[in-house]
A and B are shown apart, each in its own frame.
Chain A
Amino acid sequence: MQNWVPTRWLPTLWILSGEWRAHPVRMGLAVLAIAVGVALGFAVHMVNSAALASFGRAVASVQGRADVAVRARSAAGLDEGLYPRLARLPAVQAISPVVELTASWGKLARPGSSAKGSRFTLIGLDPLRAMSVTPGLVGLSRSGQSGVGSRPAWQGDAVWLSPALQRATGLQPGDAFTLTAAGRQAQFRVMGRLAAAGDDAQIAVIDISEAQWRFGQMGRLHRLDLKLADGAGARAAVQAVLPADAVLATPEAEASRADALSRAYRVNLGMLALVALLTGGFLVWSAQALSVARRRPQFALLSVLGLPRAGLVRQLLAEGLLLGVAGAVIGVALGYGLATLVVEQFGGDLGGGYFSRTQARLGFDLPAALLFGGLGLATALAGSISPALAAARTAPAQALKGLGDAPDPAKAPRARPSLMLLAAGGLAALGPPVFGLPLLGYAAMALLLAGGVALMPALARLLLAPLARRGATWLPLDLAVRRLWGVPQAAGLALSGIVASTALMVAMAVMVASFRQSVDDWLVAVLPSDLYLHLEGAEAGGLAPADQARLAAVPGLAHVQFQRVISVRIDPARPAVAVMAQGGHASVPLIAETDASTPPGTTRALISEPLAWLYGWRQGEVHELVIGGVPRRLFVAGTWRDYARQWGAIVVPLEDYRRFTGDATATEAAFDLKPGADARAVQEALQAALPVAVQGQAQFGRPAEMRAVALTIFDRSFAVTYALEAIAIIIGLIGVATSFSAQVLARMREFGMLRHVGVPRRQILQMLGLEGAGLGLIGALSGLSLGLVMALVLVRVVNPQSFHWTMDLALPWPLLAGLVAALVACAGGTAVVAGRRALGKRALLAVRADW
């Protein structure tokens, strides 16, 4: 029998299996708590890695895997004179000029609309040049041959589609393909597919001269793909001849940019998942501590009969290990299922909107499975260590007589270590970001949580001291207060789960509510007009001045303000910033503005919070930014709040932008209506006044609808957060229920004694209900206070350091009050239910029994 187990382990194995058989629900919940944490962490990791890998593949496909690329800083592009200059460099072995435009097909629509159409990247290149630098971008003809050598296929209306774009459009070779880019529409004929483009990228490739001619890009290039000679100096030689409006984009910088795009979002979700794991750890600790406390006489018997202390510790850790292994295995399986579901339902960025044009593919990541499974295991073991050591420290003879573990009410619980943890948490919250991430902020939250939970016994005693001193005339209340005051360690054990989960859910609820409220306020501030127009994918050119004049002349309009938005790359390793050229008075919600006047020779600029954070620009300073191919001196006159562009935005006067670039087009417009004008009629008139080429790209919006859509997207983005929050609540309530029922069952002898001396069953139940409700109240209020402090860390430290924006604190009082009430009711109710079970005939007999 059980030959695979060493003989000296059998006694404990027998006892453990007996315990698991007797309390399968309790053990199952501990396993479930670990499994949920592991599943969330693993799923978030899997989804994000899949999305990032897919995004990386798409980027590589668009780039065609050149050694390096010289890129334009903005959509305005580069002068094509750079091409021969670079081609003449000895370091350059081969060079391929590229026009790269954001384009669209069909009708672009808001989320939820049934209109068919989407954005893609339109690439114009010279196939002869591209064959030696980026062969993956050279299309195959219908016969499977390269277009090279069959020159006619590359002229005129020939277009090659990537497999993903071909699937999306449903087009076959020979079909006509109408697309819009740079505010112009053109029709092409599908010649074949770009087999080497992979499954992720939505790209179409045409001849470079067609791209320049048909989309108004004559003399302009957006990229030069290079094959360089070996040697360290090659990149430096290229770098040395670059003009101000070009940057050298290395594959490493591109990878870093893709990673940077969603890094903070991924890290934050990962941390939230680990928070769920941490809550699971508390539950394991609580379950193990109670279980060990209850079984202390059993372990004492084993010690008396000859089991060494080290053996006892080892074997209790083995129990934790079993819990951990079961939790980890179930968690990894659940996580994989969850990741598959999430990718199908929300896409690769969990609704975050970072990788909108890629399709994530999920594979099983074994190292990550081992990592997250290992974390679950470590959590279960960590939760088992202190109960195991406590069991080993107990004097067996005392424990056998039911003594030794009896708490001494005269001994006050220690508060100093907890206060030190809280102080360390406070200090960590003041720390700077590490590797650009709020790691110290998370450390602060963990320390605050650990300190807050550890402080519970001392706090419970402090809060109950006045009641305990005064005493109560009603026996159930008196007994309840004296028990809670006299045995704060037991109260602390039951409270730990409540406090941990309450604090975490309050922190998350307050953070999300603050963010949502701030976003809502911001939307009101940035949408002061009656109607808005946005052209999708119009970076390279939007509404010409004549189009603008036509729109402005539409009846019913009191005022029109046009805006031109372009992306400008300041740092090749970071996503581009948005330069917003606005006419008239800038309509952005300023949070700081300098009184100083704009120095001569500079342009007045308002920078967004993320830009100030990322590039260290401060108001009153002058910085250079390449606009129109030349570095321009910008005077930072103020900072504004922006939740839309995480990577930074700069507002400059429209007239300055036009002067710098000669680009008089607009990509957005804000319309104020005359009093009494019908918004719908005006919108229809505006739509009709748009040039046909951009009608498919035009999106009109009224502030109320736009706010509703934005908040819907916000809620969808936070759906995962809400799910984590709900799980934290459920784990917390389960923790309350299990720890309380275990404690009540462990006190059967006490109840038996009370019934022997004449306390009615009803009064014992009342006592238990009061104890439970009292504990729930202390736990919920402590968790609420701790959660508010942690929310401050999230709002003031973690969010600014992750996403580079600030927000105002908003407290969702109805939600918080409901939470406290639910916890108090749950704790009291559980105590009564467990009490009913414990107060049967067994309680009377328990006075004589030992367990």
Chain B
Amino acid sequence: MRSDTPSAGPAVATSVLAATGLARAVPLAGGGRRSLFSGVNIALTPGEVVAITGESGVGKSTLLNVIAGLDAADAGEVLIGGRDVAALAEPERAKLRASALGFVFQAFHVLPHLSLARNVALPCLLAGMNAADALARAEIVLADVGLAGRGGDWPAVLSGGELQRVAIARALVHRPGLVLADEPTGNLDPETAGRILDLLLSEARDRQAAVLIVTHSEMVAAAADRVLQLSASGLVPA
């Protein structure tokens, strides 16, 4: 494990992600706003794995959303592959997510009415690949995550661990530069969680994809190259 100062990190030119001065506040029910975080700087290089920890409600998931362009920062800048996310229009941000980002969620989010292959092929289609190529590639990646020959199965027959394997395959199938993972093992038992984490990190490293993981899990944090703790004043090495 390696810790860095939050503002340092790799040079922007070699980063898949470079965020500087990010701040975000949320409105309060009685009026006014509560600051979640400010002064957040972070940069990731290809293949690097960074874990973000912090108390519940501190804004870890919000930070991931801001980085993915799903939420707007009040201040700061996010560059993904050198492109300023905030400067892009909504359709362009969608296109950027489709081509450069992969997502893994705590709750798997595997669509119940689609076969496993179709679930995995979705990002390829959104990135513009034709259906036949997308499905062929989905079968290959499913095999990589231990689900060879299961592309025609329905999600209803899979266990939680298997569903998360499908989600990992979907996050990596279109070869994104950055995978954003929000509590990827939160719904799994410790043994399965360990296997899933190993799978996610090894597959990502094989593809030179950087991984930014939000987690409460010490085991996950221990597997990362760097661990940063989010607080109201920003990201600090844990």
Whether the Cβ atoms of B70 and A304 lie closer than 8 Å is yes
Q: Which of A15, A305, A307 has the most CB of B within 10 A?
A: A305
Kindly specify which of B92-100, B143-151, B202-210 makes contact with the partner chain. B92-100
Within 8 A of A (CB), among B99-157: 99, 101, 103, 105, 107-109, 111-114, 118, 122-123, 125-132, 135
Residue of A nearest to B64 (CB): A397
Contacts of B132 in A (CB 8 A): 1
| Inter-chain contact B109/A850, CB cutoff 8 Å | yes
Q: Given known contacts A308-B91, A309-B90, A848-B187, is B109 in contact with A10 (CB within 8 Å)?
A: no
Q: Which of A10, A18, A310 is the one whose CB lies under 8 Å from B125? A: A10
Residues A307 and B94 in contact, CB atoms below 8 Å apart: yes
- Report whether A306 and B90 are in contact in the complex, using a CB–CB cutoff of 8 Å: no
* Per-position binary interface string of chain A over residues 356-373, scored 1 when its CB falls under 8 Å from any chain B CB and 0 otherwise: 000000000000000000
Chain A residue numbers with a CB within 8 Å of B68 are 304, 397
**Which residues on B sit within 8 Å (CB–CB) of A3?**
131
Complex partner residue of B94 from A10, A15, A303, A397, CB under 8 angstroms:
A303
CA distance A851 to B107 in the complex (A): 10
Q: Are A306 and B98 in contact (CB under 8 A)?
A: yes
Would A305 and B122 be within 8 Å (CB), given that A395-B70, A848-B187 are in contact? yes
Q: Which residue of B lies closest to A2 (CB)?
A: B131
Binds B, one of A294-302, A610-618, A626-634: A294-302
| Most chain B beta-carbon contacts within 10 A, residue among A21, A309, A310, A400 | A400
Question: Which residues of the other chain, B, contact A575 by a CB distance below 8 angstroms?
Answer: none
Q: Write out the residue numbers on chain A whose beta carbons fall within 8 Å of the beta carbon of B91.
A: 308-311
Question: What residue in chain A is nearest B113 (Cβ atoms)?
Answer: A18
Proximity bits, A839-851, B CB within 8 Å = 1, else 0: 0000000001011
CB pair B98–A305 under 8 Å, yes or no, is yes
CB pair B126–A306 under 8 Å, yes or no, is yes
Size class of B's contact patch?
35 or more
Whether A850 and B108, one on each chain, are in contact in the complex, defined by CB atoms closer than 8 angstroms, is: yes
Q: Is A432 an interface residue (CB 8 A)?
A: no
Chain A, interface SS category: helix
In Å, the complex CA distance between A14 and B115 comes to: 10
Q: Is the CB of B109 within 8 A of A400?
A: yes
A391 to chain B, nearest CB (A): 14
Shortest distance between the CB of B39 and any CB in chain A (Å): 22
B65, B126, B130, B135: the one within 8 Å of A305 (CB): B126
A303 CB to closest chain B CB, in angstroms? 7
Distance between B71 CB and nearest chain A CB, rounded to angstroms: 6
Q: Is the CB–CB distance between A851 and B128 below 8 Å?
A: no
Contacts of B170 in A (CB 8 A): 305
Cβ-defined partner of B109 (8 Å) among A301, A308, A395: A301
CB of B123 within 8 A of CB of A306, answer: yes
User: When the two chains form their complex, are residues A305 and B97 in contact, meaning their CB atoms are under 8 A apart?
Assistant: yes
Residues of B within 8 A of A18 (CB): 111-114
A396 interface residue per 8 A CB criterion = yes
- Chain B, 17-75, CB within 8 A of any chain A CB: 61, 65, 68, 70-71
Cβ-defined contact, A397 with B61, below 8 A? yes
- Given known contacts A18-B113, A301-B109, A7 and B187 CB-to-CB distance under 8 angstroms: no
Which residue of A8, A22, A310 contacts B113 across the interface (Cβ within 8 Å)? Answer: A22
Residues of B within 8 A of A850 (CB): 107-109
Cβ-closest chain B residue relative to A9: B125
A397 engages B114 (CB within 8 Å): no
Q: Is B112's CB under 8 angstroms from A21's CB?
A: no
Chain A nearest Cβ from B234, distance in angstroms: 21
CA distance A3 to B131 in the complex (A): 8
* A274-327, CB < 8 A from B: 297-298, 301-311
**Distance between A411 CB and nearest chain B CB, rounded to angstroms:** 11
Instruction: Give complex CA distance A23, B170 in Å.
Output: 26
**Contact between A306 and B113, CB atoms less than 8 A apart:** no
Q: Are A19 and B131 within 8 A (Cβ)? A: no
A312 to chain B: closest residue by CB: B94
Q: By the criterion CB–CB under 8 Å, are B94 and A11 in contact? A: no
A308-B103 in contact given A18-B114, A397-B71, A850-B109 (Cβ < 8 Å): no
Instruction: A441 to B115: give the CA distance in the assembly, Å.
Output: 53
B103 partner, pick from A11, A15, A304, beta carbons under 8 A: A304
Complex interface: chain A residues within 8 A of B135 (CB): 1
Contact B65 A1 (CB under 8 A): no
Which of A1, A7, A21, A401 counts the most chain B CB atoms within 10 A?
A7
Given A297-B109, A305-B98, A14–B70 Cβ distance below 8 Å? Answer: no
Check if A306 sits within 8 Å of B99, measured CB to CB: yes
Candidates B61, B105, B126; contact of A8 at CB < 8 Å: B126
Bound Cα distance from A679 to B31, whole angstroms = 88
Minimal Cβ-Cβ distance residue in B for A21: B113
Q: How far is the CA of A832 from the CA of B191 in the complex (A)?
A: 41
Residue among B65, B94, B99, B101 having the largest count of chain A Cβ atoms under 10 Å:
B94
With A304-B70, A304-B97, A304-B103: A10-B111 Cβ-Cβ less than 8 Å? no
Q: A15-B111, A15-B114, A305-B126 given as contacts; is B70 within 8 A of A1 (CB)? A: no
B105–A400 contact, CB under 8 A?
A: yes
Residue-wise, chain A 441-453 has the 8 Å CB interface mask toward B (1 for contact) of 0000000000000
A21 to B105, CA, bound (A): 26
- Smallest CB gap from A306: residue in B: B98
B123: nearest chain-A partner, CB-CB:
A305
In angstroms, Cα B123 to Cα A306, docked, is 7
Q: How far is the CA of A851 from the CA of B111 in the complex (A)?
A: 9
**CB proximity of A846 to chain B, nearest CB, Å:** 12
In chain A, positions 480-538 with a C-beta closer than 8 Å to chain B are: none
Q: Which residues of chain A are within 8 angstroms of B122 by Cβ–Cβ distance? A: 11, 14, 302, 305
Assembly CA distance A685 to B206 (angstroms): 112
- A308 — which chain B residues lie within 8 A by C-beta? 90-91, 94-95
Q: B70, A397: Cβ atoms under 8 Å?
A: yes
A850→B105 CA distance, assembly (Å): 11
Return chain B residues, CB-CB under 8 Å to A15. 111, 113-114
Q: Of all chain B residues, which has the CB nearest A303?
A: B94
Contact residue among B126, B131, B187 (Cβ-Cβ distance under 8 Å from A1)? B131
Binary A-proximity of B157-201 (CB < 8 A = 1, otherwise 0): 000000000000010000000000000000100000000000000
B97 proximity list for chain A (CB < 8 A): 304-306
Shortest B65–chain A CB gap in Å is: 4
Most buried by B among A1, A298, A303, A397: A397
List the B side residues contacting A396 at CB < 8 Å: 70
Report chain B residues within 8 Å CB of A309: 90-91, 94
Central interface residue in A2, A309, A396, by most chain B CB within 10 Å: A396
- A305–B109 Cα distance when bound, in Å, is 11
Query: Closest Cβ of chain A: how far from B84's Cβ, in Å?
Result: 18
**Smallest Cβ distance from A38 to chain B, in angstroms?**
29
Q: Mark A8-30, 1 if CB is under 8 A from B, else 0.
A: 10110011001101100000000
Residues of B within 8 A of A302 (CB): 122, 126
Flag if A7 contacts B128 (CB, 8 Å). yes
Contact digits for B6-23, partner A, Cβ 8 Å, 1 yes 0 no: 000000000000000000
> Which residues on A sit within 8 Å (CB–CB) of B99?
306
Contacts of B101 in A (CB 8 A): 306
14 new A-B pairs (CB below 8 Å) besides A19-B113, A397-B70, A850-B107?
Answer: A7-B125, A7-B128, A22-B113, A302-B126, A304-B68, A304-B103, A305-B122, A306-B94, A306-B123, A308-B90, A308-B95, A310-B91, A311-B94, A400-B107
7 closest Cβ pairs, A-B complex: A306-B98, A18-B113, A308-B91, A308-B94, A306-B126, A306-B97, A397-B65
B residues at A contact (CB < 8 Å): 61, 65, 68, 70-71, 90-91, 94-99, 101, 103, 105, 107-109, 111-114, 118, 122-123, 125-132, 135, 170, 187
A interface residue numbers (CB < 8 A to B): 1-3, 7-8, 10-11, 14-15, 18-19, 21-22, 297-298, 301-311, 395-397, 400-401, 848, 850-851
| 22 interchain pairs, CB-CB under 8 A | A2-B131, A7-B129, A11-B126, A14-B114, A14-B118, A18-B114, A21-B113, A301-B109, A301-B111, A304-B68, A304-B97, A304-B103, A305-B98, A305-B126, A306-B96, A306-B127, A307-B98, A308-B91, A309-B94, A311-B94, A400-B105, A400-B107
